[in-house]
Structure 1
Amino acid sequence: MMKRFAFHLASLLALAGCATSEKEVPVEVRIANATPAVHVTARGETTPVGTPNADAADDPAIWRNAANPAASLIVGTDKKAGLYVYGLDGKTRDFLDAGRVNNVDLRDGVAISGHNGILVVASDRNDVANAKLALFRLDPGTAKISALGKVDAGKGEAYGICMYRAAEATYAFIVLKDGTVHQVALDVSGAAPTGKIVRTMKLGTQSEGCAVDDRTGILYVAEEDVGLWRFDARATGSTIATKIAAADGKNLVMDAEGVAIAPIGETDGYVLVSSQGDNAYVAYRLSDDSYVGRFRVVDGKIGGSEETDGIELVLGDFGPAYPGGLFIAQDGHNATAAQNFKLAAWDDIVKALGLPQ
C-alpha cells in the first residue's frame, strides 16, 4: 500500500512540475508540499444552504449573546440567493432573499434608527459594475434579519467586507475584486442608511477576505495569489500596506481567502487566514506578524471542511460545546449535500496548535 501511494505521489509531483500555475497542481501535491498541519474536528455544522450543486455558501459572521451564550446566532451568506441566520445547533432560524451577497460582517451596539442594535453589512454584487453595501438589522430575540437599505461603495465588483468600530464612526471596508479597498463611513441613525467613502487603498490583484482588530485599528486583507497584508484602519492613517505573509505554497497556499481575528489581552492574539489551496488555516501572531501554526478541520462525527472561502472566530463562552470561543469555516465540499458551514471549538484549536491557555 505504501509503495503504491509513493508511486502515486511521485506521479502527481511530476505532473505538478508541468503545471503552469500553483492552482493547477493537484490538491494532494499542494498538501504534501505545504508545512504540516495539525488536525481538529468540527463539533457542529449548519444546515446546507438552499442553492444545490453550486459554489454558494461563502462567509459567516457571529453574534455572541453574552447574557445567554447558547442563544448566540450565526449569519451566513448564500452568494447566489441571500442571508441565513442559524442557531448554534446549526438549524436555520431565518432566511432573507437578498440576492447575490458575498461576504458578511456584523457589529453589536450600533445606533440604528435611534436604538442600539446589531448591524449586519454584506458586500452586494447584484450589480457587478457598481459595488454596494447591503445593510440589515438582526433581531436577537426573534433571530430575524431585516433589510435597512443599500449604500453605494464605488465602481467595480463587490467581494470582501469587514466592519470597524472606531470612536468617531462605524466603518465598513469593502474589498473589490481587483484589490481596491474602500473605507466607508456608515450612518444608520436615520430612516435610511447613508455612507461615504472616506479613504481608498489598493492591492495589486484579486483580493477578498478581510477583518479589522477594533482594539488596535489594524485592517487585515488577503490578496488571494499573493498573501496576507495589514493596513492602518484609522480614517486618518496611512494607506500603505505591510505584507505579513506570502502565499508561498508552504505556510500559506493560494488562494488566501477568509480572515478572522482572535483578540487576546489589550493588543495581542492571532490573525487566522484560510489557506484554501491545501484545505488548511494558518495562524499568525498579532504582536509581531510571526507564523504560529497551521490546522485543518478533518472528518470526525461531522465532516471536515475543504476549499474554505470565509471564516470567522469569536472568543468567549458559547456554552458547553464551545466554552472558549467559536470558529466557523465555510465548507466547499459538503459530501453530497449543498455547501454549509462547519463549527469548531477554539479550545480544540488552541490545544492542537499548542498555544498558551
Structure 2
Amino acid sequence: MTKPRPVRTAALVLTAALAVLAAVVPAQAQPGPADAARALPVVTARAETATLYDDEAGGNANADDPAIWRNPADPDRSLVIATAKEGGLRVYDLDARTVQKVTPPSTGRPDDAPGRFNNVDLVHGLRLSTGRADLAVTTDRGNDRLRFHRIAPGHRGGPLVDVTDGAVPPVFNRDQDQINDQRTVYGLATWTDPRTGRSYALVSRRERTRVALLELRPTATGTVTYRTVRTLDLPSSFRLPNGRTWRPCGEPGELPQVEGMVVDPLNGVLYAGQEDVGIWRISADLRGTPKLIDKVREYGVPATYDEDTEECTPGADPGYGGKHLTADVEGLTLVRRGGHGYLLASSQGDDTFALYDRDVADRNAYRGGFRIGARNSVLDGSEVCDGAAAFTGPLGRRYPRGLLVVQDGRSTPAPAGREATGFKFVDLGTVLDAVRR
C-alpha cells in the first residue's frame, strides 16, 4: 500500500485559486475537486473484516489487496483472499470472518528483508500434474518472487495450499543484497491467453516504471514456477503542451511506480495504474504502444521534494490534469456485464472510486463515481483505499447481485498510535444502482 498522503498538488492550488475568484465574483464561484467528491453518490458496506494492525503486537499486518474466489460447488462458501503484507495472506468467508492465515516465507537470515505479500490475483483451471486447480498468485515484495497457493476448500489445514516451487527465481533482482533494497515485485494481474491456453502474471516493480510478463509453468511435482517473457518500461517523464518536461515528484531515486493492475480477458488489454500519473491501457502481451486513458488531477504540476517533511511542495497548476482521479490512482478491477461493464479505479487521494466503460473500442469513457461511507458508528467507510476486487453475478444468498471488496486504509475506531486497516464488503448491485441514478 502506498503511504497515505495529503492531496498535495492540483487540489491545493485549485482551492486557493477559487478562493481568490470568490473574493472578486462571489456569485460565480466554481466547485473544486473536494466539492466534486462530496457530490458523488454514497454507498455503505455490509460487512468488514477484523482490523489489522501494522505494528509488532499486530504482527506487522497491513491490509492491501483482495481477490474474490467463487466456490462453484457452493457459492455461499465462496472466499475472499487478501494480502496483509508482513502479515501474509488472510482468507475470509462472505461474512468477512477469518478462515485462514498464511505466513510469508523468510530466508532465515535476520538481516534480510522479511516476506511481504503485496498484491494477489487468481488463475482458474491451471493444469497441474495433480489435475486442474484454481490458484491464488501473490507478489512477495520482501523476497522479489511470486508465490502460488492452490485453492482447496476441503483441505483440512485451510483452503490455501502452498504449491510454490522451491526454486522460483527472483523476478527483478540478481541476488539477496539487491532484494534487500526492496525494488522488488509489487503490483500484479493474471491473464490466461484464450488462443494458447497459457497463463501469465503481469508484475510491476516497486519504485520503478517496469512491468514484466511472466509465464506460469507447472512442474512435474505439482508445484508452479515461472519464466520472464518480456518487460515494458512506462515513461518516467512527460512532455507537456507548454513544451516543458514534467516528472512526478517523489523521494530521491524513486520513479513513478505502478501498482493497481487488471487484465480484461475479452480483448487481452492490461489496465495499469501509474500512481502519480494515471491509468494506462496496454496490450497484455506488452507489445505495442501504451495509451494513457485518464490522468490524475496532479498531472503536470511541478513540485519539489522536502526532505524534512518527506512531502512534495507543489507549484502552480498548468491545468493539464484529469478531472476524476486524485493521486494516487490505486486498485483497478473489472465490473463485467458480458461484453460490457466497467473498469473501476480507486482514487486514493480523495477517497472516491471512478468507473470507466469497459470498452473494446479503445475509448474507456468516464461513466461516474461513488464513495463508500459509514453505515453506522461501528461499520465505517473506506478511506485512502488501495486494492479493490469485484465479482459480478450471483455470489450466494448474501450477494445475489455481486460483491465489491475494497481495502480501507483507515479502519476505525483504532487505538491511538496504531495504523489500522481492513477490508470492506459492499453489495455490487447497490453500487451500480447508485452510479446509474
Q: TM-score, normalised by structure 1?
A: 0.86
Within a 5 Å distance, the mapping from 1:8-87 to structure 2 comes to 17=16, 31-32=34-35, 34=37, 36-49=39-52, 51-52=54-55, 56-87=62-93
- From 189, 193, 202, the equivalent of 1:166 is 193
1:184-238 C-alpha deviation (Å, 9 max, x unpaired)? 00012432322111121122321111001122111110000110111111x3x62
Asked whether the equivalents of residues 111 and 189 of structure 1 are also in contact (C-alpha less than 8 Å), the reply is no
Quote the RMSD (CA, aligned, Å).
Answer: 2.3
Which residue in 2 is equivalent to 1:176? 205
Which residue in 1 is equivalent to 2:142? 126
Using the TM superposition, name which of 45-54 and 328-337 deviates more. Answer: 45-54
CA pair 37-223 structure 1, distance change in 2 beyond 3 A: same
Structure 1 residue 323, shift from structure 2 partner:
1.1
1:245 aligned onto 2:311: no
Asked whether the equivalents of residues 85 and 116 of structure 2 are also in contact (C-alpha less than 8 Å), the reply is yes
Unaligned runs of 5+ in 2: 1-10, 18-31, 105-114, 174-182, 237-255, 299-322, 415-419
CA distance in structure 1 between the partners assigned to 2:38 and 2:291 by the alignment = 23
Within a 5 Å distance, the mapping from 1:225-304 to structure 2 comes to 225-233=276-284, 235=285, 238-248=287-297, 250-265=323-338, 267-287=339-359, 288-301=363-376, 302-304=379-381
CA distance in structure 1 between the partners assigned to 2:162 and 2:209 by the alignment = 27
Within a 5 Å distance, the mapping from 1:102-113 to structure 2 comes to 102-113=118-129
Asked whether the equivalents of residues 132 and 152 of structure 1 are also in contact (C-alpha less than 8 Å), the reply is yes
Which residue in 2 is equivalent to 1:140? 153
Q: Percent of counterpart pairs with the same letter?
A: 34
Tell me the SS of whatever aligns to 1:152: coil
In the alignment of these two chains, the number of paired residues is: 328
Structure 1 residue 72, shift from structure 2 partner:
0.4
Tell me the SS of whatever aligns to 1:350: helix
- From 226, 229, 235, the equivalent of 1:195 is 226
Code of the residue aligned with 1:269 in structure 2: it is G
Within a 5 Å distance, the mapping from 1:202-217 to structure 2 comes to 202-203=233-234, 204=236, 205-217=256-268
Tell me the SS of whatever aligns to 1:316: coil
CA distance in structure 2 between the partners assigned to 1:139 and 1:163 by the alignment = 19
Higher strand proportion = 1
Tell me the SS of whatever aligns to 2:39: coil
- From 133, 144, 157, the equivalent of 1:117 is 133
CA distance in structure 1 between the partners assigned to 2:169 and 2:67 by the alignment = 20
CA distance in structure 2 between the partners assigned to 1:323 and 1:238 by the alignment = 38
1:258-312 C-alpha deviation (Å, 9 max, x unpaired)? 10011222x3221011000000110000213100011111001421110001000
Asked whether the equivalents of residues 200 and 239 of structure 1 are also in contact (C-alpha less than 8 Å), the reply is no
Unaligned runs of 5+ in 1: 1-11, 19-28
CA distance in structure 2 between the partners assigned to 1:154 and 1:13 by the alignment = 37
**Larger gyration radius, structure 1 or structure 2:** 2
1:343 aligned onto 2:349: no
